[in-house]
Amino acid sequence: MSNSTDSWSRFDRRERLLRFFGLLAGLVILVAAWRAMEVNYGYAVTAPRELADLFGRMYPPNVGYSRKIVGPLLETINISILGTALAIVMAIPVAFLGASNTAPNKPAYLLGKFIISFTRSVNVIIWALIFVVIFGPGALAGVLAISIRSIGFTAKLIAEAIEEIDRGSVEAITAAGASPVDVLIYSIVPQIKPAFISVATLRWDINVRASTIIGFVGAGGIGVPLQTEINYFNWEAVLTILISILGLVLISEAISAYLRKKVM
């Protein structure tokens, strides 16, 4: 290779080799994973026919059945609202710990960060399974699963809002002789209010969707009859439930979007 000024390459030889073997390793993993799945291609061939068959059995939806799901639907909404409310109550102190400018000391800050990561790392279905074992099947387990799962998300976003506040008014109120709690109430809380409302409604919207599936493990809501009807092959009833879930999710999304727009 000539050491002239008119040749230039982005990577040297060693970097090119590394990149080549990196790409090769990625392809090997992909192929190995695909083979390990042992896909039955026969099923894939018959899938369109099965789909048409399933839809044929689902249609038309069982309109009469819709009266029976009003209760479970209301329970789903209740679980999402109660779960979100409980999550917020628990998330607020965690958020103040997990924000670098309000944490009282370093260990408290790390504790806040740990709670945020830990509650987020476990899926809502797993939380629901745990709480069904502890409190038995029903809506209580669902509310707890939803709320614990939501702490991390809610606390993290509120903590970010706390870290982004304008320090000026904090300083001014401190200079007037106010205590740290007064500063919190009078300067920090008004500043994070829009973010707080936006986070709470967004999380509620997510929780409505989560509340529709936790019934699969017995934690209450519309998921309970959904699983039952699937087990009994009552496909017309299943379609009724699916349509009702779609409606519920669309409504909750619209409400949450409206509220978030309003506080911005």
Partner 1 sequence: MLTVDNLEKTYDSGDKALKGVSFEVSGNEIVAIIGPSGAGKSTLVRSINRLTEPTAGRVSLDDTEVTGLDKSALRDVRRDMGMIFQEFNLVERLTVMENILSGRLGYLSTWNAFRRNFPPEDIKRAREILSRVNLEGVENNRADELSGGQRQRVGIARAVIQRPKILLADEPTSALDPDTSREVMSLLTDIAHEDDIPIIINIHEVDLAVDYADRIIGLSDGEIVFNGPPDDLDQAARDKIYRGGESIADREGPSAGSSTDSDDVIAERGD
Residues in contact with partner 1 by CB under 8 A are 166, 168-169, 171-179, 181-182, 185-187, 190-191, 193-194
Pair of tokens at residue 226: 């959904």
DSSP structure string for 30-42: HHHHHHHH---HH
For residue 15, the minimal CB distance to partner 1 (Å) is: 39
Alpha carbon distance 68, 228 (integer Å): 13
Alpha carbon distance 53, 195 (integer Å): 48
Q: How many CB atoms lie within 10 A of CB 116?
A: 23
For residue 167, the minimal CB distance to partner 1 (Å) is: 9
| First-last CA distance in the chain | 60
Indicate the residue among 71 and 190 with the shorter CB distance to partner 1: 190
Indicate the residue among 187 and 244 with the shorter CB distance to partner 1: 187
For residue 164, the minimal CB distance to partner 1 (Å) is: 13
Indicate the residue among 138 and 194 with the shorter CB distance to partner 1: 194
Indicate the residue among 190 and 247 with the shorter CB distance to partner 1: 190
Residue 152's contacts (CB-CB under 8 Å, 6 or more residues apart) are 115, 116, 117, 118, 119, 120, 121
For residue 192, the minimal CB distance to partner 1 (Å) is: 10
Indicate the residue among 15 and 182 with the shorter CB distance to partner 1: 182
For residue 189, the minimal CB distance to partner 1 (Å) is: 9
Total count of residues recorded for the chain:
264
